[in-house]
Structure 1
Amino acid sequence: MTPPSLHIAVVGGGIGGLAAALAVARAGHRVTLVERATRFGEIGAGLQLAPNASLALEELGVLDAVQRSAVAPPRLVMMDALSGEQITALDLRGSTYRDRFEHPYLVTHRTDLHGALLAACEAHPSIGLRTGHTVTDAVQTPSEVHLCFAETSERLSADAVVAADGLHSRLRRLLVDDGDPVCSRYVAFRGALPVSSMTGAMSRHASSESVIVWAGPRMHLVQYPVRRGELYNQVAVFESDHYVPGSDDWGTEAELEERFAGACRAVRDALPLVARDRRWPLFDRLPVTDWVHGRIVLLGDAAHPMLQYLAQGACQALEDAVALGRALGEHADPRDAFSSYAGPRSERTAEIQTGARRFGEICHLDGMGAVMRNQLLSTRTPDDFDDIAWVWTPAPAPASSATR
């Protein structure tokens, strides 16, 4: 029996919020999405979409649109940032990969993924989109939630609310008393440049279409092409020695140059081409299980912000959205749906949050630790996915789940 249609408000117009709105609408409900910015958009550069994310995009009906601009890299390669030697690589197009995961590993520009989700939401008749609405409070009654906004005295009433408002979620504070996000003391400089402007070794790297991770002591560099191979995405990450809580005077360009000074020639040559217009301090939180507060539920970074070392931030938000849509398609009471969604999802994302921290430590080893890492990983064959398969393989959907 199909549950009656509900009115669900989604707070946040990023990748997680748009995906949630689309999943909920496809489950047969009416959605109003509110975004505090005056126009929809994403900042940043590239992101990786492992097969669990591709599966989620397929279930949301947007995989084909995303693939029109995304790149399917042939390999995922880890290099030693000091010696320039290859440590290990995984074959992302071979039969072993295809048989095990079925869905492609993609890399895309963040704005391209966001644009595909936004277009799908704009086209769906059950989704309303409102910009310029900053949520300041959520008042619950036994039967609904009233959202209050900074820009207007008008309230938005809905049967339930999905908080997808990111790392610094205002609505999370109503549910979880765990203070501010945790700064890792690492910072990223990132951006994408036209491949046509690249020469020499950089051009050869781009033409390979592989995802390359140069791992070094307390730093790393990630490279891969996006947007049909027209742009080359680069992310330089390093730990700052000058971090001070509450200060913005750390993780500077001078520190970037200093931290990468001992890197191999290929990394040093790439560094001047890394965008410097903005620095991105890297935050996460310890896992929590209390995502639900009556008729309000958390999703994406509002629920489980994670460090980027497993490249799963956007992937897990997409998984969240699909799971939430399924739950709201099976339960008449949104509170029951939220509990059904949050239980399994909080367990899985907790493992990935802590796994991302561990992988970051492995990536940034120095001295004998790095030597042992390289020796161990060098024995892995290109079709050995055993250590990452648990991340790339989401839990199967219940047999009764279906979307419309």
Structure 2
Amino acid sequence: MSTTANSLHVLIVGGGIGGLTAAIALRKQGHQVEIFEQSRLATETGAAIHLAPNANGVLKRLGIFAERGGANPMERLTEYTDGGKLKRSMDLTEDNKRWQHEWLLAHRVDLHNQLKEAVQTPAEDGSVIAFHTASRVTSVDAATGTVVLADGSQHTGDVIVGADGVHSVTRSALPGAHTVRAEASGKSAFRFLVPRNAALADPETAGFCTRPGELCIWYGADRRIVLYPTSHNSVLNFVLIHPTEESAEEAERGGEAEGRETWGQQTHNLDRMLQVYAGFDPAILKLLAKADPQSVRVWKLLDMAEIPSWHTERLALLGDAAHPFLPHQGQGGGVAIEDAASLAVVLPADVSAEEVPARLALYDEIRHGRATRIQQYSRLAGQDRADGDARSVANGNTGKAAFDMYGFTDYNFGHDEWDNSTQRLREWTWNRMESPYWRMPIAFGPMPGPRQTHLGLPRDGTRSTFTTASIRFKTSRTVLQNLFPPGRSGWRFTAPDTVAYASFAQTTLNKMHWLGGSGYKHFGLYVHGVEYVGSPDGTVVRGTYMPILFESLTDPIVSGREELGMPKLYTSVDVYRREHSYRIRTGWEGAQWGNFLLQDLQQLQGKDALESARGGISGENDAGILVYKYIPKTGRQNKNVAAEEYPVFDPFAEAVPTPQPKRVYTTSKASFSIDPLDWEQLPTMHHIIARLAELPVYEIVGGKVVEGEGVPDVSGARPI
């Protein structure tokens, strides 16, 4: 997106991973960006970094593919006692398929170089990011958006992003934050790299690195060794966490420069490290001894109390400046990347400078709780195990909650911050409207257009006919769950995976008695594997969630909305049925927005085929349909007051009459495309079609056409 006269001028303090990611994302949003980095080369210290799915997905969205820089997949986790006894070894290749993005092990310098290259490369519109090195910021004025450099020069913008790390200067500008400092946690870490070939050449150490993408941990009572490969599995990265007092002299010799942390780099660090881990398995000690003495560094692990707010006026913090992380989950860099994504989302191209303080407050609201929670998980993951057990924390020993690795992983990995923040920004915008007019389907926000009337007519669908064509596809759980009723609790997916399944289904109804023997067509989005858990008795209701159902005739739209709570709207539905193909085109007043095609249809034979086709209007054998009913209260004086509002479930087991499939056709060759067009072409529904067009398609699972007799009247639909 091009920068415009209305774009913001953003000043980023710090050129580390978080700062560079923010720069790339904010330029993508159309803003003018400057970076101020205190070092001359902005070289990332450290050795390797975890790019878990939650972080890797953000980078990929920004055009950063870490695997091109040498990052390799995380494929196995193996844990040992300090004496070398194998505790467990888990193949993660299947588990990783749960996540829509890869879990990568990257060389930190390689990733930093990729980010720098992206920052220093002009965008397609020619816009550049000004990257000022050797530019140490000494103070900031959050009210005016001004940063002051060590040479006395001043730079003013609309936004200041404090990405200047654990010893942040920008943090001191937050009210009350100057009293909060990063403190030693009591643990330090030796860090270094060893060429993988050196380990493979030794029979005693080769077994630790024969399998690609394997992360190994040796647990002692109060210390541990973490080993994993990076750079296309050519380099082994080591992190050795231990009590600080055992290497305090080395860390102190390394010293701390003013405003930033440095690492001890004395040649005798290697000897001291081998002493600290003298009681460990001789084989791993032999591998440690292969380190270049000049490369072994020791780092004090710092922690910091939660600061109440990450923002004030035109200043917002991200990454370690806001929430320093202990390294025990490998999420420090990832959460900084998430911060950067969220900040960019809440500052889109059309935001004004006057709105900046409110948008930064929203950023804080979106990110603060999640980052703090992962920060606490990292503390739990780093607790000492008195018995060296890698799997749990003994409550009697720590007095704290047990370490739930799977729960932590699901929470950390199962998140897409760009999509999450996009939804939060939508809801924030809706809530700030002076007089929003809400009507179904509320998942898409306040609706334009006049208020609908209702028409209730009984019907007998026993002899009515139906033909349902459906296309099932794999997509993003995060994007789908953003279509859940906003601000209403109780909705969730049955599984925590970040991939989910949905279907577009179109049904042609005919011989409808209540329509004088004629018919109509409907077309909907069906989100599979959803459950509602908000009923008073705690009952879990599972089914397929339907956020939108389009129909081609006014009468069923009105009756379905008002009587049943079905989220219906009008669209034209044109069907072209041929012997082996089925094409659907959807539109409004001549503007075509959807094209759906099933080709090479093959008819199934036998009773089992017909039984498999039984189910609901989604085209799948679902338990029922979940929707959310919202009817505005009548009267101008009652704007934004609901007359009825509750979830509704339509169980197919109670359908009257029961649909009777007659013929079933299937295909593996199905496809669809959605064009959101613009407001002029779709004046009453562009905001909905644009959201449908955002659905990523990871895989078309298949297509199906079912013909039959008996159309239910949906009289079983009821509030939950």
TM-score (norm 2): 0.50
Q: CA-to-partner distance for each residue in 1:158-197, whole Å, 9 max, x for gaps? A: 1110000001001111111333211012111111122223
Corresponding residue number in structure 1 for 2:170: 171
Q: Residue 236 of structure 1 contacts residue 274 of structure 1 at CA under 8 Å; is this kept in 2?
A: no
Please state whether the residue corresponding to 1:266 is helix, strand or coil: helix
Are 1:181 and 2:201 an aligned pair? no
Question: What SS is found at the alignment partner of 1:248?
Answer: helix
Partner of 1:298: 317
Superposed CA deviations along residues 237-275 of structure 1, whole A, max 9, x for unmatched, are 211346889x82699666533331221223222221345
What does the per-residue CA deviation read over 1:89-121, in whole Å, with 9 as the maximum and x for residues that have no partner? 443321x431x2121111011000101111111
CA root-mean-square deviation: 2.8
Whole-Å Cα distance in 2 between the matches of residues 261 and 147 of structure 1?
49
1:114 matches 2:135: no
Equivalences for 1:227-246 in 2 at 5 Å?
227-241=231-245
- Superposed displacement of residue 148, structure 1: 0.9
- Structure 1 residue aligned with 2:371: 349
Write the deviation string for residues 314-363 of structure 1: whole angstroms up to 9, x where unpaired: 111111111111011174322122111111211111111111111101xx
1:317 aligns with one of 317, 332, 336: 336
Q: Secondary structure of the residue that 1:120 maps to in structure 2? A: helix
Is the contact made by 2:13 and 2:36 (CA closer than 8 Å) also made in structure 1?
A: yes
Gaps of 5+ in 2: 255-263, 395-404, 427-690, 695-720
| Equivalent in the alignment of 1:379 | none
Structure-2 change in CA distance of 1:178 and 1:310 (3 Å)? farther
Q: Is the 8 A contact 1:51 1:104 kept in 2?
A: yes
* Corresponding pairs, count: 384
Q: Distance in 1 between matches of 2:134 and 2:332?
A: 25
Q: Given the alignment, which residue of 223, 230, 234 partners 1:226?
A: 230
Amino acid at match of 1:391: N
Task: Tell me, yes or no, if structure 1 residue 23 matches structure 2 residue 25.
Answer: yes
Residues 1-400 of structure 1: pairs in structure 2 closer than 5 A: 4-63=6-65, 65-82=66-83, 84-94=84-94, 96-98=95-97, 100-123=98-121, 124=123, 125-141=127-143, 144-151=144-151, 153-175=152-174, 176-198=177-199, 199=201, 200-209=203-212, 210-241=214-245, 248=252, 256-274=273-291, 276=293, 277-329=296-348, 331-332=351-352, 333-361=355-383, 364-367=384-387, 370=389, 373=392, 385-394=406-415, 396-397=419-420, 398-399=422-423
Contact 1:66 1:113 in 2 (8 A): no
Q: What fraction of aligned residue pairs are identical, expressed as a percent?
A: 28
Structure number with higher strand proportion? 2
- CA separation of 1:254 and 1:30: change in aligned 2, threshold 3 A: same
The whole-number CA distance in structure 2 between the counterparts of 1:87 and 1:178 is: 43
Kindly tell me: are residues 168 and 365 of structure 1, through their superposed partners in 2, closer, same or farther at Cα, counting changes over 3 Å? Answer: same
Measure, in 1, the Cα distance between the counterparts of 2:369 and 2:156.
31
Per-residue deviation, 1:27: 1.1
Kindly indicate whether the alpha-carbon contact (under 8 Å) linking 2:172 and 2:178 is maintained by their aligned counterparts in 1.
yes
Distance 2:391 2:22 in 1: 42
Return the structure number with greater helix share. Answer: 1
The code of the aligned residue for 2:337 comes to: L
* CA–CA distance in structure 1, aligned partners of residues 223 and 248 of structure 2: 19
Contact 1:66 1:112 in 2 (8 A): no
Secondary structure class of the residue paired with 1:192: strand
Give the gaps of 5 or more residues in structure 1.
Answer: 376-383
**Helix, strand or coil: the match of 2:93?**
coil
Distance 1:374 1:11, change over 3 A: closer
CA deviation after TM superposition for structure 1 residue 46, in Å: 1.2
Q: In 2, are the aligned partners of 1:189 and 1:274 still within 8 Å (CA)? A: no
Which string of whole-angstrom CA distances, capped at 9 and with x for unpartnered residues, describes residues 211-257 of structure 1? 11112111111111111122111121211346889x82699666533
Amino acid at match of 1:240: T
Q: Name the SS of the counterpart of 1:222 in structure 2.
A: strand
Between stretches 197-206 and 30-39, larger displacement belongs to 197-206
Aligned partner of residue 72 in structure 2, secondary structure: coil
- CA spacing shift, 1:254–1:265, aligned 2, 3 Å: closer
- Structure of higher RCO (CA pairs closer than 8 Å, 6+ residues apart): 1
Tell me if the contact between 2:342 and 2:363 (Cα under 8 Å) persists in the aligned partners.
yes
Aligned to 1:381: none
Please tell me whether the aligned partners of residues 24 and 325 of structure 1 are also in contact (alpha carbons under 8 angstroms): yes
Opposite residue 326 of structure 1, the aligned amino acid is V
